[in-house]
């Protein structure tokens, strides 16, 4: 399959996934993920409350500073806190949610009615293999995010401060493209951990550019909300600190929407390149 064909399939897969997303069942994982994130944001906002401070205050201090427990400083730190907490859960919850969505869209693309509970059961039965196969790539994402945070928190030149986020974005899109190939191999082909890892190079030969197209477009959908959340300092300074919590929740929803589109498109991408199975195994 030529590079242009791969890119075209990636674009078409996203367009078809957007149409299929009108089916309510594919949104069940998003609702579950969004509810969990709302709980997290609420716990961080009320971290200093006596009912939560015993557990949340140490987390806030570890990930930011003592000042973050004071109003309105907490809201200045809120986007960073949510991102840093989510990073530690992402290696486990990320593959499970993406896998769940992948199975639901695979059902839809086969002409079946998506069924959230059976799809979750299928994902859960392969959870260990799915998480372990995805783990190396999630660890790369975690290392890149921590490295960027450490770099930007220190004294760096204006050029480095300008270039670093773009390099990080490029690395993240590249890694996410590889991750999009993992769930279909584990869940739709039911490969073992070893078979998944050894099959990834062959899968990448016929599908990586399509996956890269999907990852790039869905990442672009998130960027405006990430930039908006990054203005927490000015929102607090303007006298509207609570607005930050609303913006963070909007960013959470944008990330969940991007995840649905990417995982669904990955299911169709996998279906579209089944004819290349011999090349995958070559």
Q: Quick one: what percent of the chain has pLDDT higher than 70?
A: 92
Query: What pTM does this model have?
Result: 0.89
Which three-class secondary structure state does DSSP give residue 50? coil
Answer whether residue 266 shows pLDDT above 90: yes
Structure-token match 């769940």, residue found: 100
Q: What is the pLDDT of residue 64?
A: 83
In this structure, are residues 255 and 11 in contact, taking their beta carbons and an 8 Å threshold? no
Integer angstrom CA distances of residue 76 from 73, 209, 231: 5, 38, 9
Q: Which DSSP symbol is given to 240?
A: -
Answer whether residue 281 shows pLDDT above 60: no
pLDDT digits (tens, 9 = 90+) for 38-75: 999 999 999 888 888 888 989 898 888 778 888 888 89
pLDDT digits (tens, 9 = 90+) for 167-195: 888 999 999 999 999 999 999 999 999 99
pLDDT digits (tens, 9 = 90+) for 123-139: 999 999 999 999 999 99
Tell me the CA end-to-end span of the chain in Å, nearest whole number. Answer: 14
Q: Hey, where are the domains in the chain?
A: 3-281
Instruction: Dump the DSSP string for 144-180.
Output: HHHHHHHHHHS---HHHHHHHHHHHHHHHHHHHHHHH
Integer angstrom CA distances of residue 159 from 155, 164, 166: 12, 8, 11
Q: What is the pLDDT of residue 282?
A: 45
Cβ partners under 8 Å of residue 273, min gap 6: 1, 9, 206, 207, 210, 280
Nearest-angstrom CA–CA distance, 160 and 163: 5
Q: What is the pLDDT of residue 65?
A: 78
């Amino acid at each position: 399959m030529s590079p242009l064909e791969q890119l075209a399939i990636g674009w078409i897969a996203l367009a078809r996934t957007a149409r299929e997303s009108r089916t309510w069942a594919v949104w069940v994982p998003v609702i579950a993920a969004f509810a969990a994130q709302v709980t997290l944001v609420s716990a961080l906002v009320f971290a200093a409350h006596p009912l939560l401070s015993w557990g949340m205050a140490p987390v806030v201090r570890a990930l930011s500073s003592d000042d973050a427990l004071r109003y309105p400083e907490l809201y200045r730190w809120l986007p960073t806190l949510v991102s840093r907490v989510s990073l530690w859960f992402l290696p486990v919850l990320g593959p499970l949610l993406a896998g769940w969505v992948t199975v639901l869209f695979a059902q839809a693309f086969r002409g079946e009615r998506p069924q959230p509970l059976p799809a979750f059961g299928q994902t859960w039965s392969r959870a260990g293999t799915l998480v372990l196969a995805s783990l190396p790539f999630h660890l790369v994402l975690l290392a890149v995010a921590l490295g960027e945070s450490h770099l930007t928190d220190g004294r760096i030149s204006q050029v480095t401060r300008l270039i670093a986020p773009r390099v990080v974005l490029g690395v993240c899109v590249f890694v996410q493209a590889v991750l999009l190939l993992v769930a279909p191999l584990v869940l739709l082909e039911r490969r073992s951990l070893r078979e998944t890892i050894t099959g990834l190079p062959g899968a990448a030969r016929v599908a990586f550019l399509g996956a890269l197209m999907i990852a790039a477009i869905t990442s672009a959908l998130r960027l405006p909300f990430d930039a908006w959340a990054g203005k927490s300092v000015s929102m607090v300074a303007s006298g509207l600190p609570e607005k930050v919590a609303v913006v963070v929740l909007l960013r959470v929803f944008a990330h969940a929407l991007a995840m649905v589109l990417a995982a669904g498109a990955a299911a169709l991408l996998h279906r579209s390149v089944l004819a290349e199975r011999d090349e995958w195994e070559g």
